[in-house]
Chains A and B, each alone.
Chain A
C-alpha cells in the first residue's frame, strides 16, 4: 500500500471508490529535542460526498494531518511516509506542478483564522479571482462576475460593493465567508476545513457551519471538518475520527460514536464539554494531566497516563485500531473499551489482528 506508480499521476480521477484514502500516514518533524511524530500511522478512507469530522485537543495532530493530506507542510526537517491517495493521485509523491493543478481546483482548504489567511493589503475581489483565473482560465470580467456571484452565494450582503473591500473592513464571520467563497470557487471535490469556526463568535459559528454544509451539498463535495470541539462536528459529520497523540484512537459513524463510544478519551472529551443545564459556578470538568509529549511518546497507549481505566497492558503495549464486534464501521484503539456501551465485549480478539 505504501508504494505507488510514480510514473503516472492521473489527474482525472474516476467517479467511483473513495475520494481520499490515507494509508499508514506518518508525519514527523525535526525539532531541537528530537523527532516529533505529529501524525502516527493514520489510515482512513473518505467516501464521495461524505463529511468526516476530526476531533482532538490541541497538539493531537489534527492540523498536521490536514496539511499532510494536501502535502502543504514546509519541507524543512519534514519526514512523511505512507500514502495519501486523493482521487487517484498520491499527494505525498506527486511533483509540485501536479499538486498546483490540484490545490484550489480539486482539493482546497479553509483555514482557522480568516484574518491571517486573507492578504491584508489585497482587495477581496482579487483574492477570489486569482484562483478562478488560474484554474478555470477565466478572463478578468468573467472572474469578477463570478467573484460577486460567489460572495452572494456565501451570504455576503451587497456583494458587488463588498468585492472592492479590504479584509480589515469585514467582520470575522464575513471574512470566513470570503475564505469559504475562495475555497469553493472552483468547485473542488474535497474541502478541508481546519477549525473553520474556532476564531469566530459562538453566534456566528452555527451560521458558518450551516453555510459549509449547504455549499457542500450544493456542489457535491466531500469534506473533512477538523475541530477541537466535538459539538461542532457532532451535527455536521457523517463520521467522526477522534485523534489523540497523533493517532486515530476511535472512528465511527456519528450516531454510533455517541451511542456506544469505546474509547475512554472520547468519553472524557464529551465529559469536558460544558453544558448549559449545569448550575453556575460549577467547576468545569477537565481531562487530568497533559497531552503526551510527541517527541518521547509513552510506551503503551498514549492516553494511559490520563486514563482512569488504564491497566499494566495499557502502559506497555500500543493498542491497535480494531473493529467493534457488532459494527465493522466502528474502529477503536483501546485495551479496555468502555463496556457500558454494549458494542464491545472483549478486547482480546482484536488484539491479535
Chain B
C-alpha cells in the first residue's frame, strides 16, 4: 500500500524479512488521498465529463432540493448546484495551489538561501518578512484586491505574494536546523558548490516539512479565498467558487439550506483531507521518527 514511500523505507532488497516497525499510513490517509484526487480530477475534467453548464439558468427547477436530475439541487436562479460545486472547485483549487506554488517558489528559495548563507542576506530578508508579517494579511489582500482587480490570476498572485513571508519563515527555520550539520561541512570538504549543497544536500532534508506545509497552506488559502468571496472581493459572479456560492446563498439559509450545505461540505471535507494528509506525510517522511 505504501509504495509511494518506498524511497524512504526501501530495504526489501537487502533485508529478507520486512522490518516489523514499518507500519502503513492508515486507511483514513488513503481515503483522504482518494478524496483529494477525486476533487482535483473533477476540477480538471469538469468541462470534459459533460456536466451541466454551471451558469445555465433552468427555470423549471428553482430552489429545488436534491433529485436525480440535480444531485445537489438547484439555486435561486435554477442553476445546478452539483455542477457549480465542481466548477467552483476549479476556482478554489487554482487559487489554493497556485498561490501556494508562488509562495513556495519565492519564499521557500529565499528561506533556504537565507538560512544557508546567513549574514547580510538573512538579516535583510528576515527583516522584510517581519514587516510583511506585521501587516494583517487579510486586510492587505483586501486592500490590494480592491485596487488591482478581481480576476482569478490577480487574486492568485496577490494571495501568493502575501504567503511568501510565512513560507519563508517556515522553510528558513527548517533549513537552519540542517545548515550547520556536519554533512554540510562534509559536502563542502568534497568540493560541492553552494548550489549543489542547497539543492542536493539541504533540499531533501527540508522537503518533508515543505510538502506538509504546502498542503496545509493550500487549505488556508482556500479559506482565505472563502473569506474574500464572502466580502464580495473574490472572482465575481456568476463565476462559481466555493466561497462565492456560500456568500450568494446565505440569504436562503432558512428556505433552502442545500445551497449553503453542499459548497460548505465540499470545502470542509477537502480542507480536512488536506490537513490530515499533510500531517501524516510530515511524520511519515521525517527521517528522525522511528528510524534510528
How many chain B residues sit at the interface, stated as a range, is 20 to 34
Residue in B13, B190, B207 whose CB lies within 8 Å of A130? B190
Q: Given A113-B182, A117-B182, A169-B11, is A103 in contact with B191 using a C-beta cutoff of 8 Å?
A: yes
Tell me, in angstroms, the Cα distance from A113 to B291 when the chains sit together.
Answer: 18
Cβ-defined contact, A117 with B186, below 8 A: yes
Contact with A along B156-190 (1 / 0, CB 8 A): 00000000000000000000000001110111111
Cβ-defined contact, A119 with B201, below 8 A: yes
Cβ-defined contact, A134 with B183, below 8 A: no
Cβ-defined contact, A165 with B204, below 8 A: no
Q: Given A120-B287, A121-B205, is A161 in contact with B189 using a C-beta cutoff of 8 Å?
A: no
Q: Closest approach, in angstroms, between the C-beta of A126 and any C-beta of chain B? A: 8
Whether B4 is near chain A, meaning CB under 8 Å from some CB there, is: no
Tell me, in angstroms, the Cα distance from A168 to B288 when the chains sit together.
Answer: 9
Residues of B within 8 A of A182 (CB): 186, 190
Cβ-defined contact, A103 with B190, below 8 A: yes
Cβ-defined contact, A101 with B191, below 8 A: yes
Cβ-defined contact, B186 with A168, below 8 A: no
Residue in A118, A134, A168 whose CB lies within 8 Å of B292? A168
Whether B67 is near chain A, meaning CB under 8 Å from some CB there, is: no
Whether B66 is near chain A, meaning CB under 8 Å from some CB there, is: no
Q: Given A70-B189, A122-B201, is A111 in contact with B182 using a C-beta cutoff of 8 Å?
A: yes
Whether A306 is near chain B, meaning CB under 8 Å from some CB there, is: no
Cβ-defined contact, B201 with A134, below 8 A: no
Whether B14 is near chain A, meaning CB under 8 Å from some CB there, is: yes
Whether B10 is near chain A, meaning CB under 8 Å from some CB there, is: yes
Cβ-defined contact, A162 with B287, below 8 A: no
Residues of A within 8 A of B14 (CB): 158, 161-162, 164-165, 169
Contact with B along A224-258 (1 / 0, CB 8 A): 00000000000000000000000000000000000
Cβ-defined contact, A165 with B11, below 8 A: yes
Q: Given A158-B14, A168-B291, is A109 in contact with B193 using a C-beta cutoff of 8 Å?
A: no
Taking CB as reference atom, which chain A residue is nearest B202? A119
Tell me, in angstroms, the Cα distance from A108 to B193 when the chains sit together.
Answer: 15
Whether A135 is near chain B, meaning CB under 8 Å from some CB there, is: yes
Whether B33 is near chain A, meaning CB under 8 Å from some CB there, is: no
Q: How many A-B residue pairs have CB under 8 A?
A: 86
Q: Given A161-B14, A165-B14, is A116 in contact with B181 using a C-beta cutoff of 8 Å?
A: yes
Whether A84 is near chain B, meaning CB under 8 Å from some CB there, is: no
Q: Closest approach, in angstroms, between the C-beta of B211 and any C-beta of chain A? A: 13
Residues of A within 8 A of B204 (CB): 119, 121-122
Q: Name the interface residues of A121-160: CB closer than 8 Å to any CB of B.
A: 121-122, 126, 130-131, 134-135, 158
Whether B25 is near chain A, meaning CB under 8 Å from some CB there, is: no
Cβ-defined contact, B201 with A111, below 8 A: no
Residues of B within 8 A of A259 (CB): none
Residues of B within 8 A of A126 (CB): 200
Q: Given A131-B191, A158-B14, is A118 in contact with B291 using a C-beta cutoff of 8 Å?
A: no
Whether B152 is near chain A, meaning CB under 8 Å from some CB there, is: no
Cβ-defined contact, B287 with A104, below 8 A: no
Q: Closest approach, in angstroms, between the C-beta of B21 and any C-beta of chain A? A: 12
Residues of B within 8 A of A100 (CB): 191-193
Tell me, in angstroms, the Cα distance from A248 to B181 when the chains sit together.
Answer: 29
Tell me, in angstroms, the Cα distance from A126 to B201 when the chains sit together.
Answer: 10
Tell me, in angstroms, the Cα distance from A126 to B200 when the chains sit together.
Answer: 10
Residues of A within 8 A of B13 (CB): 161, 164
Residues of A within 8 A of B119 (CB): 76
Q: Closest approach, in angstroms, between the C-beta of A158 and any C-beta of chain B? A: 7
Residues of A within 8 A of B287 (CB): 120-121, 166, 168
Q: 19 A-B contacts, Cβ less than 8 Å apart?
A: A70-B189, A72-B188, A101-B191, A103-B188, A103-B189, A104-B191, A111-B182, A111-B186, A113-B182, A116-B182, A116-B183, A117-B185, A121-B204, A121-B287, A122-B200, A130-B192, A134-B196, A161-B13, A161-B14
Residues of A at the B interface (CB closer than 8 Å) are: 70, 72, 76, 99-105, 108-109, 111, 113, 116-122, 126, 130-131, 134-135, 158, 161-162, 164-166, 168-169, 179, 182
With contacts A116-B181, A116-B182, A117-B183 known, what are 5 further pairs, Cβ within 8 A? A104-B192, A120-B287, A126-B200, A130-B196, A162-B14
